[in-house]
Amino acid sequence: MHAFSRRLLVLLAFAAWGLAGCGSMAPTTSASLQVGGALDRPAKYAVSELSSRPATTQVVHFSSGSGAQSHTYVGTSLWQLLDGSGIRTDGAKMSDALNRYVLATGADGYRAVFSLGEINPAFGNQQSLVAYAEVVDGRTVPLGVSDGPLRVTAPGDTKGGRYVSRLAGIELRASESQVRGTGGGVSTAVAVSGAVDKPMTFDLAALKAMPSISRTVNGSTYTGVSLWTLLHGTTGIKVDPTVKNASMAMYVVATGSDGYKAVIALGEIDPDFGNKMALVAYSVNGAPLDRNGMARLIVPGDVKMGRSVSNLAAIEVLASPRAAP
């Protein structure tokens, strides 16, 4: 069906729904959003409740199976929705908040992960919205039946894989990390485990043998190996081939020798999606990292360096489990 007539139909359906007193003509797709998980105030939001929250208009571009997409979405901030629901953390530990991820699920079971650090304005500052409308030819109309009534946006992603349509649930979870710190102190190797083809441990010589990349953060130039290259190109990432875009529901946990943890979504660093360069750095301004260990995770685009895990000891690749843990 033509996109315009589709939208017109949705408009009519909404109008009829309103007249019927929200009875029989409710759209078959999810007309509410379950916001839950590790929150003080989990809640179910009707589309009307979401659209009465502070609104942002956002122009996005991404590619999909239907070609190049450009949309002007109207929605409410995903971060503010979660933050306003009371993000429950273990004490005031920054590491605890950065060891979290947000799972977006569509009515069809399609899933995508954002790391909590990614959408936190103080860290990744990626401004995902829960969109409920779109500006088409200068008019604001509800999202159509194929992508709405709600859709999460992933501004900056090259492909549309994290733009979960028919959004039904947002869940905040602690990472499923299994690895513990090694008691602190200077790290001497980085162990890669989890959903990889070949679990491997990298020492300094192994990292230095790989193609190097440098990035300057706050005036310091870090040199190391691209986290994506290390995973995708070296250990391999084990992805469930039976699930559409299974890697969009996967993430990486970096753990320091002291047990400090930070989550990065695979979609965040995948060159086809977020394309963010994260580095497993082993030198700064040409010198060893010293007290920061043999290696340190560096996430250059972040506002604060909370995800730059020093004394990096472990990297896990994890798939978000389907059922809540």
Ligand X SMILES: Nc1nc2c(c(=O)[nH]1)N[C@H]1C(S)=C(S)[C@@H](COP(=O)(O)O)O[C@H]1N2
Residue 165 near ligand X by CB under 6 A: yes
Residue 193 near ligand X by CB under 6 A: no
User: Nearer to ligand X by C-beta: 41 or 61?
Assistant: 61
Positions 222 through 241 that interact with ligand X (CB under 6 A): none
Q: Smallest gap, in angstroms, from Cβ of residue 144 to ligand X?
A: 9
Q: Smallest gap, in angstroms, from Cβ of residue 166 to ligand X?
A: 5
How far are the Cα atoms of 1, 14, 101, 225, 287 from residue 222, in angstroms, in the given order?
A: 52, 53, 26, 10, 9
Positions 113 through 152 that interact with ligand X (CB under 6 A): 147
User: Nearer to ligand X by C-beta: 193 or 245?
Assistant: 245
Residue 64 near ligand X by CB under 6 A: yes
Q: Is 129 helix (H, G, I), strand (E, B) or coil?
A: strand
First vs last C-alpha separation in the chain: 40
Span interacting with ligand X, options 157-165, 211-219, 271-279, 291-299, rule CB under 6 A: 157-165
Is residue 141 within 8 A of residue 11, CB to CB? The reply is yes
Cα dihedral value 165, 170, 174, 176, nearest 10: -40
Residue 110 near ligand X by CB under 6 A: yes
| Angstrom distance (rounded) from CA 244 to CA 246 | 5
Q: Smallest gap, in angstroms, from Cβ of residue 319 to ligand X?
A: 17
Residue 163 near ligand X by CB under 6 A: yes
Positions 74 through 103 that interact with ligand X (CB under 6 A): none
Q: Smallest gap, in angstroms, from Cβ of residue 273 to ligand X?
A: 10
Residue 169 near ligand X by CB under 6 A: no
Q: Hey, what are 48's tokens?
A: 């009307």
| Angstrom distance (rounded) from CA 284 to CA 91 | 32
List the one residue out of 240, 249, 239, 262 whose CA is nearest residue 171: 249
Span interacting with ligand X, options 3-11, 164-172, 266-274, 302-310, rule CB under 6 A: 164-172
273 exposure class (CB count in 10 Å sphere: 0-12, 13-18, 19+): buried
Q: Which residues bind ligand X (CB under 6 A)?
A: 64-66, 69, 106, 108, 110, 147, 159-161, 163-166, 244-245
